[in-house]
Every structure is written in C-alpha cells, then in structure tokens.
C-alpha cells in the first residue's frame, strides 16, 4: 500500500559528510566541527573550503581561494543593467532570484563536469557577493559598484555596502555567514538538489534554492521575527500580545519551532552573543529586551512540546545592528547559504547522482470519456 509522508518528514534522500544535526540534543557540526566554535575561530572562506573540499585550507590554498573570489567580484554589465531596471522597492530576494536566473542564461549546453564545477564555486561566491551588496546599494538609493577586495569575504561585503565598518561588525558578519552556511537539507537546499539532480547548471540550482528560501516558514522567519518585535513595541506589552495573538491560536510565534530541533537551536547562542554586543542604540536595546521577554513567554508556553527558539529569532537583531534594513534579512541568509548549497549539490552529483523524481498517489476521478460536443 502506497503511503505519503507529508512535508517529506523523515524521508532521507542522500548521504552527507557535510552537516550533522542532533535535534534532540541541539548539536550541529560541519564535517565534525562544532558550529559555534567554527563561528568563533574560523572565517567564512576557510569554512567554505572545508565544506567543499573536506579539509581546512593551508595558507596557500586559502590565498588562492580568496584570489578567485576577489577576481570574480565584478558583475557582468548585463546584470548591472537588469538590476538598474528593477524598481527600488522590489523584494530583495526576488532581485537575487532574477540576477541568478539571468546569470544562468550564460550556461550554454551545460554539462556537469566535476573539475570545472568545483573550480567554479569560488567564482560563484564572488559573483553572489556583488549581487547582494549591489541589491542593498540599489535599494538604498546608491550606485552599482564593483566591490573592492578587503581582507575577508565578510569585510569585502560590508565595505561594499557601507564603506567603513567596525571590527566587531565584521566579526559578527563572518560568524553569521558561517552559522547560516548549511543546515543539512532544508527546503531551499532540497529545491537546489532537485534541480541539480536533472544535471541542470549550478546557477539554476542556486536560483531554485533562493526561490524556496523566500517563504516565512523558512528563510523569511528572521524578518518575520523582527517585525513581531516591532509590532509588540516594548517588553511590557509582551504578555498581552502573546495572549491575544499566540495563545489564542490566531498566529504562530515566528522564530520558534523547527522540523528537526526539539530543543534550542544551537546557532542561537552565537547570534544572541552578537545581539548583546551590537545592540547599543536605545531603539535596538528595547527590541532586544522585547525579544528576550517574548522568548521566555514562548519557552514557557511551548517548551514542553519541544518547540523552542530557532536561530531566526535573534539573527535579525544582529543584521539590523550592522545597519541592514529588515527587508534585506532573508537575502543575507541567502548569501550565507551559497557555499553550503553548492557543497550539497556537488556531493550529490558526484557520489549519489540519481534524478529526484517522487510520486503522487492519484485520487481523482476514474476513467471518463469525452463527450462529442
């Protein structure tokens, strides 16, 4: 008897050596290394390399990886033209989708090629950095630029967006890029895998992932959580808002709950640390205090059912403290996820390639004949 698994819950579609999650204990590791330790001690480029090639780079390999990223920072002119043509008020992630799809049109007669595609990954990291930085610039009324390389990926990105940036902000961005880099195979990575399993090109696979990231149940949650704090306004309003909106069953608490975790999301610890460090304005201190009060109410109400705070609860406060507007949060998540998605695609295509083609159980009418009219 055929059965469906709603939401593909507990369906396994690949083996992986990339990310390990223990949802009951709240553990997450990349290739065996604890996620918070990596966020504290490593860099986005080194961890990307680890994910893609299975080992940390030595100094020469790291330099070469960074050089390829930096050489590929300038966007082709046609992408600049497309970005300029989009209305300033467009959804930022929608703009990224558009740019990735346009870039995919260059992949003529694409044939998966192990050596070439691996080489292409740092090139793609350079291109996506420019796309996201320029989306931010266009949306904030600034000109499109070719970003200048500065030390790390995080610093190059932030300087392309803001010019000067503080050291703590660069470190927080580097950590955020690492924490969000991969998460086994959530909806967005699965969408990319489905596309890649047809042996389509990597830009198309990335565009598929970004499309799936957009929804509020997934990547859109950081934005949703932050808007929730704005709506509540201050810690004193939490109890009433929580009773009226959440306990009443009208809405879900955004930034809470997860398909895999039955306890706190392990990434939360580092995001919370940076929220404490960077939320220095009165406005952000108030938002953070509101978030903490709301978290307590949420854990009290839902903890016993295994519904706890997820990473998106505090990440928005960190991005806002860096200077990004709320409508850029999901796109920053997208930027962070690129190397994780590409690592999953290459792992799948190289070791377990099979077209992903599930079935649906037919429940429509029995055979019918067309009338002659």
Q: Which residues are catalytic?
A: 258, 312
CA-CA-CA-CA torsion sign (97, 98, 103, 104): positive
Given the rule CB under 6 A, which of 34-42, 196-204, 231-239, 257-265 is the region that contacts ligand CMC? Answer: 257-265
Candidate list 147, 255, 316, 334; residue touching ligand CMC; CB under 6 A: 255
Q: Provide, rounded to whole angstroms, the least separation between the CB of residue 250 and ligand CMC.
A: 10
Q: Give the Cα separation of 321 and 341 in Å (integer).
A: 27
Pick the piece of the chain touching ligand CMC (CB under 6 A) from 152-160, 170-178, 254-262, 336-344: 254-262
Nearer to ligand CMC, 199 or 217 (CB): 217
Does residue 7 belong to the site contacting ligand CMC (CB under 6 A)? yes
**Residue 309 lies near ligand CMC (rule: CB under 6 A):** no
Measured from the CB of residue 279, what is the shortest distance to ligand CMC in angstroms? 20
Segment 15-34, which members bind ligand CMC (CB under 6 A)?
none
Select from 218, 227, 273, 292 the one that contacts ligand CMC (CB under 6 A): 218
Instruction: Examine residue 185 and tell whether it contacts ligand CMC (CB under 6 A).
Output: no
Of the ranges 63-71, 87-95, 217-225, 275-283, which one interacts with ligand CMC (CB under 6 A)? Answer: 217-225
**Total of chain residues touching ligand CMC, rule CB under 6 A:** 17
Taking contact as CB under 6 A, which single stretch among the options 61-69, 119-127, 276-284, 304-312 is the one that binds ligand CMC? 304-312
Site residues for ligand CMC, window 153-182 (CB under 6 A)?
Answer: none
221 contacts ligand CMC (rule: CB under 6 A): yes
CB nearer to ligand CMC: pick between 149 and 186: 186
We find the least distance from the C-beta atom of residue 221 to ligand CMC, in angstroms, to be 3
**Of the candidate residues 126, 219, 235, 316, the single one contacting ligand CMC (CB under 6 A):** 219
Q: Smallest distance from the beta carbon of 80 to ligand CMC, in angstroms?
A: 30
List of residues contacting ligand CMC (CB under 6 A)? 7, 186, 217-219, 221, 252-259, 307, 310, 312
């Amino acid at each position: 008897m055929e059965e469906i698994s709603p939401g593909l819950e507990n369906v396994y579609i690949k083996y992986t050596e990339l990310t390990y999650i223990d949802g009951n204990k709240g553990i997450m590791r990349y290739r065996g290394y604890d996620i918070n330790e990596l966020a504290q001690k490593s860099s986005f480029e080194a961890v990307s390399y680890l994910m893609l090639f299975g080992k940390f780079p030595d100094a020469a390999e790291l330099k070469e990886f960074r050089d390829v990223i930096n050489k590929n920072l300038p966007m082709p002119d046609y992408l600049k033209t497309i970005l300029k043509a989009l209305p300033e008020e467009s959804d930022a992630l929608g703009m990224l989708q558009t740019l990735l799809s346009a870039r995919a049109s260059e992949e003529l007669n694409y044939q998966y090629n192990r050596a070439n595609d691996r080489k292409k990954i740092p090139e793609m990291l350079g291109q996506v950095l420019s796309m996201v930085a320029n989306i931010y610039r266009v949306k904030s009324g600034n000109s499109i630029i070719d970003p200048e390389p500065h030390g790390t990926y995080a610093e190059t990105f932030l300087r392309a967006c803001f010019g000067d940036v503080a050291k703590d902000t660069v470190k927080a961005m580097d950590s955020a890029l690492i924490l969000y880099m991969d998460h086994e195979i959530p909806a967005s990575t699965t969408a990319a895998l489905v596309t890649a399993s047809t042996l389509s090109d990597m830009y198309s696979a990335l565009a598929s992932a970004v499309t799936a990231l957009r929804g509020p149940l997934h990547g859109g949650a950081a934005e949703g959580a932050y808007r929730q704090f704005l709506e509540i306004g201050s810690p004193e309003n939490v109890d009433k808002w929580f009773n009226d909106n959440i306990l009443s069953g009208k809405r879900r608490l955004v930034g809470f709950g997860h398909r895999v975790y039955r306890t706190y999301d392990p990434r939360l610890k580092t995001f919370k640390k940076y929220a404490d460090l960077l939320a220095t304005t009165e406005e952000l201190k108030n938002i953070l205090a509101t978030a903490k009060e709301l978290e307590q109410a949420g854990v009290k109400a839902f903890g016993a059912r295994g519904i706890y705070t997820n990473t998106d609860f505090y990440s928005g406060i960190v991005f806002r403290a860096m200077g990004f507007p709320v409508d850029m949060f999901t796109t920053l998540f997208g930027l962070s996820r690129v190397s994780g998605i590409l690592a999953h695609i290459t792992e799948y295509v190289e070791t377990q390639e099979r077209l992903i083609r599930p079935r649906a159980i037919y429940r429509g009418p029995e055979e019918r004949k067309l009338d002659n009219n």
